[in-house]
Amino acid sequence: MAFIVSSGELATTGAGVLPAYAPMTLRAAPWEYEMIWRTQPQVRTVIGFIARNIAQLGVHVFRRISDTDRERLTDHPLAQVLAEPLPRMTQYRFIERIVSDRALYDNYYGIKLKLNGRLRILSVPPTLIRPYGGNWIAPEYFETAGGRQFGVDEVVHIHGYSPNDLTYGESPIEAIRDLILESSEASKARAQMWKGGSRITGVLVRPPDAPEWGPEEKARFREMWRSFSQGGGAEGGTPLLEDGMDYKAVGFNPEQAQYIEARKLTREEVAAMWYIPPPLIGILDHATYSNIKEQHAHLYQDTLGPWTVELQQEFGAQVLPDLPDNENVYCEFNVESKMRGDFESQAAAASTATGGPWMTRNEIRARNNLPRVEGGDELIVPMNVTEGGLASPRDTAPDAGTPPKAQARQVSAKAGQSSQTASDDELREEFVTALKVLTADEFARLTKSEPDDAEAVRAWWASDRGVRQARFLKVISDYMVRFGLAGARRVLEEFNPDEDGWSADVLEPWLLVAAMHHAELHDAAGEAAAVAAAQDVPEDGDLAAALLVAGGVWAAAALTRSQTAATEALSFGGHDAAEASGLGFKTWHTTSTDPRSQHLAINGAKVSLDAAFANGLRWPGDSTGDADETANCRCTLDYAKED
């Protein structure tokens, strides 16, 4: 139960008024832990590593609807208090404080406040608050350094294990106190060595038979040596040893003392106390790319996983009951964002797991901080992905125990059925009609936006270019795959009925890539027509009428685009099947409706299967050729095993 204060009374809670306040118990003094954190770099490195990596995760709040459904709650009171525990305090700083206190002291204390009608949490350093009274199960109350008392339900107390009772935790510092002390003393010794000068850590030996020195000689030599030794010998020049004197070094030099190894060992021991793999904090003696990558993957599972689970459960047990509407509500650290890997691996895993496309266009746009677009909530499913057909959009391999040939026959039979119900000409008419309808719809959307000038037209075109091209791709890829499989089927029926060595798995990806190219070109043709029409309109002219004319130009381009794509797919499908079937030669046949002289010139020309014809094309509609050579082309190829 939080007690109510106003924003002006926040400083009067009693916490922090006596910096030297110490708990009145027989436990280890927490201010010693504070000094260790301030002065020991190994402890600070390890605790900072834990706190920063957990704080960056972020905490999300959910409501469990069922075992398979949950709802993200962004405006729930728990989400609000975790996002801003105090005015102008971020969630990162809040979580960092909790984890740091818990790691250093094994205790975190936070006072619940009802500040201006909202629950807030004031984090209190463990040196400024203590549990008081009660028994080994629970304290009677908590008391701050200023003498203010708070009930048990007014304080968030997160602590670790103690063998004595259930009311507090024992700091891990106690277990490594001697190790830290040893490291501290070694550091002091090293500082003294450099302060005194490493060259004079020894004694001067004078031979027994050396002549006796009088007081003046002794004073002279003593003064000379003192002048040399001050500042490590840097100020007194070079000493002169007389009468056969010799300098004998005593003590350890830096190499013998193994200072570097000792510091590394200390960091390893401190890291082990908090279960952190050494390579993650800069100890790379036995590190390789593979084991660092694996340890990074395990970081949020084995190293930081217990921390996040503890905090999630403590928030649910100590904070959530004080908030309204708390039924079936829980919070989770966003560990998943760190475990997903790169986007390519995430997309591949999700696509395989779901058996189909798994994100809408608006979801992708949201990931890239782009606004929503009309129609972007529809899930686009490619025509080559069907339920009960392919295993997944990425894996078109046959099921275990099914011969690959049977899988290929199944796909080609589907294409054959399409060809039987519709001839090439009928299929071409379907293609151009579908592309023209979609083209008209896109131009209608442009006209509806009522652009003012050419720049407005260009801006509209750029606003959702990817979405529009995806719509074109859906239609173009559908028909190109159907044409490609039909072209392959004809060659296979004549030369390779068993389809040995051929698979649609090789054919279809190439056709999809070609369809993407056609979708981009068709979109660019529409933009060019619209911008040109807008630029030619005078200031007092009718832009809408000019765009209507541009729409007709784009519709004509849709006719050319569909014919070109259909010919390319038919030709490539047949060429791919001929290559897989071991055929050696191909012959170009020009249709009577194709008036181009270059195509007429090579009518009946025969070349080897891997060669190009005289016009530079490998097959009719070859995308590597010029547009003049491929546009509206309806030529065909015949194949033969021998010349």
Instruction: State pLDDT tens for residues 314-340.
Output: 999 999 999 999 999 999 998 877 765
CA torsion sign for 465, 468, 473, 474 is: positive
Count of structural domains within the chain: 3
Indicate the residue among 339, 356, 383 that finishes a domain: 339
Please check whether residues 584 and 635 belong to one and the same domain.
Answer: yes
Residue-level pLDDT at 67: 81
The string over 268-277, giving b where at least 16 C-beta atoms fall within 10 Å of a residue's C-beta and e elsewhere, is: bebbebbebb
Please say if the pLDDT value at position 390 is more than 50: no
Give CA–CA dist 514/527, Å, rounded. 20
Give CA–CA dist 549/457, Å, rounded. 15
Give CA–CA dist 481/456, Å, rounded. 36
Q: Is 59 helix (H, G, I), strand (E, B) or coil?
A: strand
The stretch 249-274 carries a mean pLDDT of: 66
Contact 337, 57 (CB under 8 A): yes
Please say if the pLDDT value at position 271 is more than 70: yes
Indicate the residue among 285, 317, 339 that finishes a domain: 339
Query: In the 3-class helix/strand/coil scheme, how is 473-538 assigned residue by residue?
Result: HHHHHHHHHHHHHHHHHHHHHHHCCCCCCCCHHHHHHHHHHHHHHHHHHHHHHHHHHHHHHHHHCC
Please check whether residues 615 and 532 belong to one and the same domain.
Answer: yes
Give CA–CA dist 636/597, Å, rounded. 16
Please check whether residues 625 and 558 belong to one and the same domain.
Answer: yes
Give CA–CA dist 215/223, Å, rounded. 12
Give CA–CA dist 361/342, Å, rounded. 19
The stretch 168-193 carries a mean pLDDT of: 76
Sequence-distant (6+) residues with CB within 8 A of 264 are: 283, 285
Contact 329, 78 (CB under 8 A): yes
Please say if the pLDDT value at position 356 is more than 80: no
Residue-level pLDDT at 554: 87
Range of the domain at 225: 202-250
CA torsion sign for 289, 294, 298, 300 is: positive
Give the model's confidence band at 395: pLDDT under 50 very low, under 70 low, under 90 confident, else very high. Answer: very low
Give the model's confidence band at 604: pLDDT under 50 very low, under 70 low, under 90 confident, else very high. Answer: confident
Query: In the 3-class helix/strand/coil scheme, how is 307-357 assigned residue by residue?
Result: HHHHHHHHHHHHCHHHCCCCCCEEEEECCHHHHCCCHHHHHHHHHHHHCCC
Please check whether residues 512 and 455 belong to one and the same domain.
Answer: yes
State what percent of residues in the chain have pLDDT above 70.
Answer: 75
Please check whether residues 233 and 270 belong to one and the same domain.
Answer: no
Is residue 353, in this structure, part of any structural domain at all? no
Contact 57, 334 (CB under 8 A): yes
Type of residue found at 142: F
CA distances from residue 37 to 48, 475, 503 in whole angstroms, order as listed: 10, 64, 65
Please check whether residues 301 and 267 belong to one and the same domain.
Answer: yes
Is residue 367, in this structure, part of any structural domain at all? no
Is residue 351, in this structure, part of any structural domain at all? no
Choose between 364 and 350: higher pLDDT. 364
pTM (predicted TM-score): 0.49
Choose between 28 and 186: higher pLDDT. 186
Is residue 605, in this structure, part of any structural domain at all? yes
Is residue 356, in this structure, part of any structural domain at all? no
Please say if the pLDDT value at position 102 is more than 90: yes
Highest averaged pLDDT of the listed ranges 222-226, 286-290, 342-346, 538-542: 222-226
Give CA–CA dist 560/580, Å, rounded. 30
Type of residue found at 579: E
Residue given tokens 């060259």 in the structure block:
199
Please check whether residues 47 and 26 belong to one and the same domain.
Answer: yes
Is residue 354, in this structure, part of any structural domain at all? no
Please enumerate, as own/partner, the contacts of 257-264 that have beta carbons within 8 Å and a separation of 24 or more. 257/186, 257/189, 257/190, 259/186, 259/190, 262/183, 262/186, 263/42, 263/183, 263/186
The stretch 152-169 carries a mean pLDDT of: 91
Residue-level pLDDT at 510: 84
CA distances from residue 365 to 71, 112, 341, 347, 467 in whole angstroms, order as listed: 21, 40, 20, 15, 10
Please enumerate, as own/partner, the contacts of 525-533 that have beta carbons within 8 Å and a separation of 24 or more. 525/554, 525/557, 525/561, 526/439, 526/442, 526/443, 526/461, 526/554, 526/557, 527/457, 527/458, 527/461, 529/553, 529/554, 529/557, 530/443, 530/446, 530/457, 530/461, 530/554, 531/454, 531/457, 531/458, 531/461
CA angle at 492 for the pair 489 and 497, rounded to the nearest 5°: 115
Residue-level pLDDT at 422: 61
Dump pLDDT digits (tens) for 403-420.
333 333 333 333 334 434
Counting Cα atoms < 13 Å in the Cβ hemisphere of 349 gives 8
Please check whether residues 183 and 330 belong to one and the same domain.
Answer: yes
Please check whether residues 59 and 137 belong to one and the same domain.
Answer: yes
Average pLDDT over the chain reads 78
The stretch 152-168 carries a mean pLDDT of: 91
Give CA–CA dist 293/594, Å, rounded. 60
For 72-126, give the DSSP string.
Answer: E-SSSHHHHHHH-SSTT--HHHHHHHHHHHHHHHSEEEEEEEEETTEEEEEEE-G
The residues pairing with 237 across neighbouring beta strands, listed in sequence order, are: none
Could you tell me the two tokens for 452? 């003012």
Please say if the pLDDT value at position 173 is more than 50: yes
Contact 187, 226 (CB under 8 A): no
Please check whether residues 515 and 548 belong to one and the same domain.
Answer: yes
Dump pLDDT digits (tens) for 553-594.
888 888 888 888 999 999 999 998 998 888 889 998 887 555
Please say if the pLDDT value at position 487 is more than 80: yes
Residue-level pLDDT at 51: 93
Is residue 286, in this structure, part of any structural domain at all? yes
Is residue 362, in this structure, part of any structural domain at all? no
Please check whether residues 266 and 218 belong to one and the same domain.
Answer: no
Sequence-distant (6+) residues with CB within 8 A of 639 are: 491, 495, 574, 578, 583, 585, 586, 587, 609
Please check whether residues 449 and 517 belong to one and the same domain.
Answer: yes
